[in-house]
């Protein structure tokens, strides 16, 4: 049995920040499914939204966030995040993150603007902000003597008092599959933190990395935690449409710097859908693109930034410029083919301002959590800010508690299972799940589609549970099991919302209700 003061599951920005803020006082174990750089945080292009300029105010950022959230943002949580934004950015700068400089700016850094923001407030490192932040923090992490990093470890399930037959239901750690040896190990911890990201891989087309399989959400649900707002899956409007470009995102900042969305004949269409045109929030832009594609039978639409100079594009979007050029698209001369793709899970595990969940000593931070910040639609570049702010508040809460002795935990028992005789079941079910979620639970929904999806989810759950009960676990099986749980939660939530709001658009309920409430699901038997 491995033993730590705090176990952090996930190596995105939330997990890394929390580890660094705890490590001077706690022995930290950080596990990650693949390598430290394989999460969604490294893929974030645009930047981090924060009030840094004298021309900006916390009230303005809060209002933009709540407008994008379509009446479902928790105002207390939103203000909490916004008001801690500058402190979070100052901490990153102190760590050495190389944000893009601007000698003409009052703060010395370039601020860009993205859809839904009424002013420039996005601090960034060119068009690879997430990568720059992650690389900086990883170098600090690997140098800290109190942090043990376990790469290639896939969490199986949380170990709770309920599972141990105790009267309390606190969390004591987790079981994890060492994918290098196929051995399940026991990890004990005083505090366990889920920082596992979202569930974008439940959809056929996504901007997310392969690691985004909703593991934390599924484990927390099985452990007795409530989840909220799972129907609100953000589809990023502009994913590069190219057969050799897997999940490559064209940053929101391209539209912030003047990019225009066009049909194949060059006609601009966004002003017909919203007065903010290309700078409307993501849900509106994604639905507009989806509408235009279906109306004309298009494979994609086009994002045109060619009116900007080569020098401007290479300075502001060096990665997008070079990646497109390698694929034969010169963005200084021609538009970029784009389609919407599943991008961000706005709901998740219910957590408070200290990132505490319904299970004692279990925390949830980042995309895996429902903090109340995003409401029915996340405002661009608020996600990395959320990671930073709630990692800090979780760290302060964890450090305020005295350390106790962990009980001896039982080893993983696989004495009653055998090796799987064939793996085609997992591959087939994985493909089926992602296809019907895209077709039935996508950008535009109907009751009939949702009911079809629910029926198929139930059939898959039965097959996967039977498979899980009889065979040794594998990372593919664990991810599929978690994805099906996430799909079930998304469909349940979508069926229960009898209106169209934000990212949830239903043809059966096209209007908005007057008094909206979050969708909160409670695990059976809780």
CATH number for the domain spanning 277: value is 3.90.700.10
Tell me which residue of 221, 222, 233 sits closest to 349, measured CA to CA: 221
Q: Structurally, how many domains does the chain consist of? A: 3
Same domain, 184 and 284: no
Same domain, 156 and 261: no
> Per the domain annotation, does 115 fall within a domain?
yes
Sheet containing 301-304: give its strands across: 233-240, 336-345, 301-304, 260-262
- Whether residue 45 contacts residue 210, with contact meaning beta carbons closer than 8 Å, is answered with no
Residues in CB range of 74: below 8 A, 6 or more apart: 371, 372, 373, 375
Task: Give the integer Cα–Cα distance in Å for 20 and 8.
Answer: 11
Q: Which helix (H) or strand (E) holds 31?
A: strand 28-32
> Per the domain annotation, does 408 fall within a domain?
no
Q: What is the pLDDT, as a whole number, of residue 22?
A: 98
Per-residue pLDDT of the chain (526 residues; tens, 9 = 90+): 899 999 999 999 999 999 999 999 999 999 999 999 888 888 777 899 999 999 999 999 999 999 999 999 999 999 999 999 999 999 999 999 999 999 999 899 999 988 889 999 999 998 889 999 999 999 999 999 999 999 999 999 999 999 898 888 899 999 999 999 999 999 999 999 999 999 999 998 898 888 999 999 999 999 999 999 999 999 989 999 998 877 788 988 899 999 999 999 999 999 999 999 999 988 889 999 988 998 998 989 999 999 999 999 999 999 999 999 999 999 999 999 999 999 999 999 999 999 999 999 999 999 999 999 999 999 989 999 999 999 999 999 999 999 887 788 999 999 889 988 777 889 899 999 999 998 899 999 999 999 999 999 999 999 999 999 999 999 999 999 999 999 999 999 999 999 999 999 999 999 999 999 999 999 997 7
Q: What is the pLDDT, as a whole number, of residue 370?
A: 98
Same domain, 385 and 481: no
pTM for this model (two decimals):
0.91
- Whether residue 521 contacts residue 347, with contact meaning beta carbons closer than 8 Å, is answered with no
Task: Give the integer Cα–Cα distance in Å for 302 and 434.
Answer: 25
Q: What is the pLDDT, as a whole number, of residue 439?
A: 87
Same domain, 17 and 95: yes
- CA angle (307, 298, 280) in 5-degree steps: 55
> Per the domain annotation, does 522 fall within a domain?
no
Could you give the residue ranges of the DSSP H alpha helices within 349-446?
A: 383-399, 424-440
Beta bridge partners of 186: 175
SS3 464: helix
Q: Phi and psi of 323, rounded to 5°?
A: -65, -45
Torsion of CA 373, 121, 330, 309, to 10 degrees: 170
> Per the domain annotation, does 520 fall within a domain?
no
Residue 108 to residues 98, 111, 137, 240, Cα–Cα distance (Å): 12, 9, 22, 32
Q: What is the pLDDT, as a whole number, of residue 408?
A: 86
Same domain, 31 and 100: yes
- Whether residue 383 contacts residue 414, with contact meaning beta carbons closer than 8 Å, is answered with no
* Catalytic residue selected from 79, 255, 282, 481: 282
Residue 404 to residues 6, 20, 212, 391, 398, Cα–Cα distance (Å): 12, 21, 33, 22, 12
- Whether residue 364 contacts residue 193, with contact meaning beta carbons closer than 8 Å, is answered with yes
Task: Give the integer Cα–Cα distance in Å for 59 and 245.
Answer: 39
> Per the domain annotation, does 52 fall within a domain?
yes
Same domain, 434 and 310: no
Q: What is the pLDDT, as a whole number, of residue 294?
A: 85
Task: Give the integer Cα–Cα distance in Å for 207 and 193.
Answer: 25
What residue numbers bound the domain in which 479 lies? 424-508
Same domain, 273 and 372: no
Same domain, 152 and 216: yes
Same domain, 205 and 316: no
Instruction: Single out the residue in 321, 342, 363 at which a domain terminates.
Output: 342
Instruction: Single out the residue in 324, 342, 360 at which a domain terminates.
Output: 342
- CA angle (228, 232, 238) in 5-degree steps: 150
Sign of CA dihedral 48, 98, 100, 103: positive
> Per the domain annotation, does 222 fall within a domain?
yes
> Per the domain annotation, does 198 fall within a domain?
yes
The domain that holds 487 is classified in CATH as 1.20.58.100
HEC sequence for 165-215: CCCCCCEEEEEEEECCCCEEEEEEEEEEEECCCCCHHHCCCECCCCCCCCH
- Whether residue 97 contacts residue 132, with contact meaning beta carbons closer than 8 Å, is answered with yes
Same domain, 77 and 181: yes
> Per the domain annotation, does 406 fall within a domain?
no
Q: What is the DSSP code (8-state) at residue 501? A: B
- Whether residue 228 contacts residue 521, with contact meaning beta carbons closer than 8 Å, is answered with yes
Same domain, 42 and 130: yes
- Whether residue 88 contacts residue 392, with contact meaning beta carbons closer than 8 Å, is answered with yes
The domain that holds 86 is classified in CATH as 3.50.50.60
The first and second tokens of residue 475, run together, are 């990372």
The first and second tokens of residue 499, run together, are 């209106």
Same domain, 366 and 336: no
> 101 catalytic, yes or no?
no
Task: Give the integer Cα–Cα distance in Å for 261 and 303.
Answer: 5
């Amino acid at each position: 049995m491995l033993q730590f003061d705090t176990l952090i599951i996930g190596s995105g920005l939330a997990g890394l920040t929390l580890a660094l803020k705890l490590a001077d006082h706690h022995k930290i174990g950080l596990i990650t499914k693949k390598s430290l750089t394989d999460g969604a945080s490294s893929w974030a292009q645009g930047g981090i939204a924060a009030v840094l300029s004298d021309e900006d105010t916390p009230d303005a950022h809060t209002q933009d966030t709540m407008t994008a959230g379509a009446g479902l943002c928790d105002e207390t949580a939103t203000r909490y995040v916004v008001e801690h934004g500058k402190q979070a950015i100052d901490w990153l700068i102190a760590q050495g993150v190389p944000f893009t400089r601007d000698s003409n700016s009052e703060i010395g850094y370039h601020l860009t603007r993205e859809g839904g923001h009424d002013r420039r407030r996005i601090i960034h490192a060119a068009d690879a902000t997430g990568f720059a932040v992650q690389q900086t923090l990883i170098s600090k992490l690997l140098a800290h003597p109190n942090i043990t990093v376990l790469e290639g470890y896939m969490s199986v399930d949380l170990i709770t008092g309920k599972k141990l037959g105790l009267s309390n239901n606190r969390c004591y750690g987790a079981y994890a599959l060492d994918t290098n040896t196929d051995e399940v190990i026991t990890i004990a911890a005083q505090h366990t933190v889920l920082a596992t990201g979202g569930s974008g891989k439940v959809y056929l087309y996504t901007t997310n990395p392969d690691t985004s399989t909703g593991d934390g959400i599924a484990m927390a649900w099985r452990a007795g935690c409530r989840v909220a707002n799972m129907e609100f899956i953000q589809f990023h409007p502009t994913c590069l449409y190219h057969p050799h470009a897997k999940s490559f995102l064209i940053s929101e900042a391209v539209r912030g710097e003047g990019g225009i969305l066009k049909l194949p004949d060059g006609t601009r269409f966004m002003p017909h859908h919203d007065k903010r045109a290309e700078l409307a929030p993501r849900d509106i832009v994604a639905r507009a693109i989806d509408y235009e594609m279906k109306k004309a039978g298009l494979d994609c639409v086009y994002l045109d930034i060619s009116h900007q100079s080569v020098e401007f594009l290479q300075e502001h979007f060096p990665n997008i410029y070079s990646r497109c050029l390698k694929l034969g698209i010169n963005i200084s001369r021609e538009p970029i083919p784009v389609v919407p793709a599943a991008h961000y899970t706005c709901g998740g595990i219910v957590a408070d301002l200290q990132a505490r969940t319904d299970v004692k000593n279990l925390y949830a931070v980042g995309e895996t959590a429902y903090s109340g910040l995003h409401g029915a639609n996340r405002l661009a570049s608020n996600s990395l800010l959320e990671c930073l702010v709630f990692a800090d508040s979780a760290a302060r809460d964890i450090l305020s508690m005295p350390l106790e002795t962990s009980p001896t935990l039982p080893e993983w028992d696989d004495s009653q299972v055998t090796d799987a005789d064939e793996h085609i079941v997992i591959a087939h079910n994985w493909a089926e799940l992602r296809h019907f979620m895209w077709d039935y639970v996508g950008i535009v929904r109907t009751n009939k589609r949702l009911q079809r999806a629910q029926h198929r989810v139930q059939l898959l759950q039965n097959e996967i549970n039977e498979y899980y009960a009889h065979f040794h676990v594998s990372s593919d099986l664990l991810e599929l099991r978690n994805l099906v749980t996430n799909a079930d939660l998304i469909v349940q939530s979508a069926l229960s919302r009898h209106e169209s709001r934000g990212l949830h658009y239903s043809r059966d309920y096209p209007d908005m209700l007057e008094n909206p409430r979050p969708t909160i699901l409670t695990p059976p038997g809780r």
